[in-house]
C-alpha cells in the first residue's frame, strides 16, 4: 500500500479513532490488494488549472488532509496554517448546533465523521479508468461537453452502490447514445464509458466482499455513494457564488446570488439530512484545489457560510426573504412586511376592492401614487387615504 495512504490512515486513527479506517488498514496489511484501485489513481494527472500539477491520488489524499485539519479544529480546537480559522469560525457560528454533534451522529453503525473521511478518500474513484486519452482529441476537434473525467461522480457512486440495475441502466443509456452518434470523438467516448461500466459490473462481487470485510452495510454504502455522486453539484454552485461576489454591478451580483440561493434551497430539500455533509466534502475538495493552484480562499469560506445560512434560514427564504451581501459578507434579509394591515383597515370594503387596494399599496412609500397607477379614481383615493391617515 502507498506509504502516503498508510500515513493518512495512521494519523486519522490516532487522532479521531473509529472502526472503518483501522479495519481498512488492517485488511490492507494482511491482504495487500484491497486498495489497489485507489492506488491506481496515481497514474492519472489532474488539470493543473484546478488542482495543481498532481496526480488524482495526491489530490484525493490532500482533500483528506484538509478534512483532518477541519476535524482538528472542530474537535480539538487546533489551528492549522492552511485553515483561515477566523473565517471558519464565522461560518460555523451560523449553525444553531455544534458541527461535531452533527458529525458524531451515526449512519448505520458508523459515525458521519468517519464515513465522510472515507467518502473524501474515495471521492474521485470514478476517474480511475475514465477517458485518460480523450482530452487531446477533444482539444483538437473542439468537441464541447466532453472532458477528461466527465461523469466521474456518477461512476464513483456506482463503485459503492451494489445495485446492479443502476449500472445496467447506465450501460443501456450509453448504448442508445452510441447508436445515434456520428462524431468519432463522441463514439470513442461512449465506447469507453460502456467498457468502464461493464468493468464495474464485472467487479461487483469483489467490491461486495470489500464492503463485507470493512463491515459497511447498505445504509453506510448508500451514504458514501450519495456524497460522491453529489460532490460536483456544489462546485457548480460555487462558480455562481464567485460571479456574485466579484461582480461590480450590484444588480447582477444580487441576481447571481438569488440564483445560487434558489439552487441551494432545492438541494436542502433534495439532500435532506446529508446537505451539510455534501457541503463539507465539497468545501474540502475546493479548498485543497485552491491551495494547490495558489488561488485565493476567502470566497470559499464565504460560500460555506452562505450554504449554512440557506440551511438554517430555509423557512424565511421560502417565505420571500433573501441573502444579500453587506460589506461583501452574506447576511439574511427577511421579507419586509406591508406597512399597512390592509385586511384590518379595509374590512368594511368589498372583498375584491380590499384585495385590489392591498395589491396596489403593498410596501409602497407613496400609496396615493400607487393607487392612481392601479386605476383608482381621485375620489376613491381620497377615501382610502383618509382611512390610512386614521391608521
pLDDT over 60 (residue 4): yes
User: Whole-angstrom Cα distance, residue 38 to residue 56?
Assistant: 9
Domain-terminating residue out of 202, 229, 256: 229
- Both 302 and 319 in one domain: the answer is yes
Q: Give domain status of residue 217, yes or no.
A: yes
> What pLDDT score does 1 carry?
56
- Does the reported pTM lie above 0.75? yes
Range of the domain at 362: 342-390
- Both 298 and 269 in one domain: the answer is yes
Q: Give domain status of residue 88, yes or no.
A: no
Query: 211 near 219, Cβ under 8 Å?
Result: no
- Both 151 and 239 in one domain: the answer is no
Q: Which residues pair with 331 in a beta bridge?
A: 324
Place of cell 452502490: 161
User: Whole-angstrom Cα distance, residue 22 to residue 16?
Assistant: 11
- Both 183 and 257 in one domain: the answer is no
Q: What is the DSSP letter of 331?
A: E
> What pLDDT score does 184 carry?
81
User: Whole-angstrom Cα distance, residue 108 to residue 105?
Assistant: 10
- Both 245 and 206 in one domain: the answer is no
- Both 166 and 199 in one domain: the answer is yes
pLDDT over 80 (residue 89): yes
List b or e across 205-227, with b for residues whose CB sees 16 or more CB atoms inside 10 angstroms: eebeebbeebebeeebbbbbbbb
> What pLDDT score does 58 carry?
85
- Both 166 and 248 in one domain: the answer is no
> What pLDDT score does 245 carry?
93
One-character DSSP codes across 69-129 = HHHHHHHH----TTS-HHHHHHHHTTSSS-HHHHHTSEETTEEHHHHHHHHHHTTTGGGTT
Q: Which residues pair with 106 in a beta bridge?
A: 111
Q: How many domains does the chain have?
A: 3
> What pLDDT score does 32 carry?
60
Q: Which residues 6+ apart lie within 8 Å of 169 measured at CB?
A: none
Q: Give domain status of residue 184, yes or no.
A: yes
- Both 274 and 323 in one domain: the answer is yes
- Both 129 and 211 in one domain: the answer is yes
User: Whole-angstrom Cα distance, residue 45 to residue 156?
Assistant: 17
Question: What is the average per-residue pLDDT within 294-321?
Answer: 93
Q: Give domain status of residue 351, yes or no.
A: yes
List b or e across 107-144, with b for residues whose CB sees 16 or more CB atoms inside 10 angstroms: beebbbbbbbbbbbbbbbbbbbbbbeebeebbeeeebe
Out of 20-34, 40-54, 188-202, the most confident range is 188-202
- Both 266 and 328 in one domain: the answer is yes
Q: Give domain status of residue 204, yes or no.
A: yes
Domain-terminating residue out of 164, 198, 229: 229
User: Whole-angstrom Cα distance, residue 263 to residue 244?
Assistant: 14
What kind and span of H or E run contains 316?
helix 314-318
Query: How do residues 138-158 score in pLDDT, each as one tens digit?
Result: 444 554 444 456 678 877 888
Amino acid at each position: 500500500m502507498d506509504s502516503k495512504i498508510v500515513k493518512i490512515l495512521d494519523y486519522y486513527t490516532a487522532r479521531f479513532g473509529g472502526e472503518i479506517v483501522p479495519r481498512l488498514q488492517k485488511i490492507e496489511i494482511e491482504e495487500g490488494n484491497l486498495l489497489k484501485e485507489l492506488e491506481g489513481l496515481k497514474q492519472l494527472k489532474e488539470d493543473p488549472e484546478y488542482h495543481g500539477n498532481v496526480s488524482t491520488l495526491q489530490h484525493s489524499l490532500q482533500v483528506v488532509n484538509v478534512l483532518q485539519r477541519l476535524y482538528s479544529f472542530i474537535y480539538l480546537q487546533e489551528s492549522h496554517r492552511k485553515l483561515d480559522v477566523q473565517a471558519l469560525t464565522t461560518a460555523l457560528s451560523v449553525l444553531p448546533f455544534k458541527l461535531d454533534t452533527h458529525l458524531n451522529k451515526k449512519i448505520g453503525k458508523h459515525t458521519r465523521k468517519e464515513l465522510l473521511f472515507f467518502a473524501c478518500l474515495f471521492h474521485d474513484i470514478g476517474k480511475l479508468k475514465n477517458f485518460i486519452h480523450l482530452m487531446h482529441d477533444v482539444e483538437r476537434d473542439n468537441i464541447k461537453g466532453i472532458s477528461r473525467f466527465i461523469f466521474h461522480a456518477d461512476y464513483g457512486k456506482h463503485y459503492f452502490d451494489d445495485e446492479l440495475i443502476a449500472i445496467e441502466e447506465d450501460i443501456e443509456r450509453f448504448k442508445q447514445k452510441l447508436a445515434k452518434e456520428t462524431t468519432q470523438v463522441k463514439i470513442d467516448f461512449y465506447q469507453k464509458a460502456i467498457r468502464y461500466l461493464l468493468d464495474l459490473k464485472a467487479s461487483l462481487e469483489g467490491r461486495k466482499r470489500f464492503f463485507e470485510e470493512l463491515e459497511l452495510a447498505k445504509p453506510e454504502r448508500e451514504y458514501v455513494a450519495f456524497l460522491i455522486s453529489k460532490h460536483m453539484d456544489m462546485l457548480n454552485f460555487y462558480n455562481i457564488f464567485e460571479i456574485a461576489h466579484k461582480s461590480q454591478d450590484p444588480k447582477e451580483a444580487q441576481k447571481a446570488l438569488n440564483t445560487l440561493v434558489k439552487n441551494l434551497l432545492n438541494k436542502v430539500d433534495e439532500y435532506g439530512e446529508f446537505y451539510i455533509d455534501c457541503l463539507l466534502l465539497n468545501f474540502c475538495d475546493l479548498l485543497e484545489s485552491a491551495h494547490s493552484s495558489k488561488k485565493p480562499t476567502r470566497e470559499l469560506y464565504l460560500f460555506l457560510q452562505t450554504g449554512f445560512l440557506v440551511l438554517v434560514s430555509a423557512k424565511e427564504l421560502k417565505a420571500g426573504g433573501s441573502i444579500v451581501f453587506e460589506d461583501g459578507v452574506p447576511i439574511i434579509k427577511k421579507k419586509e412586511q406591508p406597512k399597512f394591515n390592509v385586511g384590518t383597515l379595509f374590512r368594511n370594503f368589498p372583498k375584491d376592492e380590499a384585495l385590489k387596494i392591498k395589491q396596489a399599496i403593498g410596501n409602497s412609500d407613496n400609496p396615493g401614487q400607487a393607487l392612481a397607477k392601479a386605476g383608482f379614481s381621485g375620489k376613491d383615493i381620497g377615501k382610502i387615504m383618509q382611512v390610512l391617515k386614521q391608521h
